[in-house]
Amino acid sequence: MHRRTAISVSAALLLAAPLLSACSGETRPGTAAVVGGERITTSALQAQVNDVRAAQNRTGQGSAELIASTPNLERQKLDAMLQSRIIDKMADTAGIEATDKDVEEARKALVAEEGGTKQFEAKLLQGGAMAPDQADRFLRNRVLLAKLTAKYGNGKLEEPARAAVKALHIEVNPRYGAWDDQQIRLGAGETPWIVQRSRAEGAPVDPMAAAQR
């Protein structure tokens, strides 16, 4: 089937200022970011990074190339974690949810499209630096983005995304980059937050295009 859609999610960050910095102005130890008043700890971030590095190392001869292609993996994974928080906020505001059944159906569709689970997981790892156990969050984002697009229209997610970012009061530990409120992304990122192309109702999403870079 010809793929008529690609919703590409790359990077987005959110935080609430008071929790990230101590009174001295120094970054609070152990905090990578704060989103809507909730901390994303450096240990939680490092766990995701470690999962990806382990998955890359398991690829065998291609592991060195994969690792070399993700020199800023900490920033990339933090972007992904924050991106998910933005999508959750957008969905909550819109009264939209992704059920377990929705996620499972999305998984089956993409696995079938890629020719099997191993191929699907390999594409996420290569194209989006996502370990196999991070696929569920990726799929949940896909489902929510598809439902949000159905509600607001193709190419109409920027406004609700900006509203979500504003409500979440974004801040990020300078160690990982600078938050760009205009671009809705981590300042060192290379791609915009959301790129959409017209999508047929119910058409599968290309995981390569959808993977955060």
Q: Residue 209 above 70 pLDDT?
A: no
What is the tens place of the pLDDT at every residue in 127-162? Answer: 999 999 999 999 999 999 999 999 999 999 999 999
Distance CA 60, CA 121 (A): 15
Q: Residue 205 above 60 pLDDT?
A: no
What is the tens place of the pLDDT at every residue in 154-175? Answer: 999 999 999 999 999 878 899 8
What is the tens place of the pLDDT at every residue in 65-82? Answer: 999 999 999 999 998 898
Give the CA distances from residue 89 to residues 14, 69, 163, in Å, rounded to whole numbers and listed in that order: 11, 31, 9
- The predicted structure's pLDDT at residue 204: 33
- The predicted structure's pLDDT at residue 188: 64
List 179's β-bridge partners, or say none: 186
The owner of tokens 């937050």 is 193
Report the chain's mean pLDDT, rounded to a whole number. Answer: 79
Give the CA distances from residue 56 to residues 5, 68, 122, 126, 149, in Å, rounded to whole numbers and listed in that order: 28, 10, 9, 9, 33
Distance CA 76, CA 88 (A): 19
Query: CATH code for 8-210?
Result: 1.10.4030
The pTM for the full model equals 0.76
The owner of tokens 């969905």 is 91
Indicate the helix (H) or strand (E) that contains 111: helix 100-114
Q: Residue 1 above 80 pLDDT?
A: no
10-20 mean pLDDT: 30
- The predicted structure's pLDDT at residue 5: 32
20 vs 107: which has the higher pLDDT: 107
Percentage, residues of the chain above pLDDT 90: 61
pLDDT confidence band for 28 (50 / 70 / 90): low
23 vs 118: which has the higher pLDDT: 118
What is the tens place of the pLDDT at every residue in 88-127? Answer: 999 999 999 999 999 999 999 999 999 999 999 999 999 9
202 vs 78: which has the higher pLDDT: 78
Give me the residue spans of the domains in the chain.
8-210
- The predicted structure's pLDDT at residue 195: 44
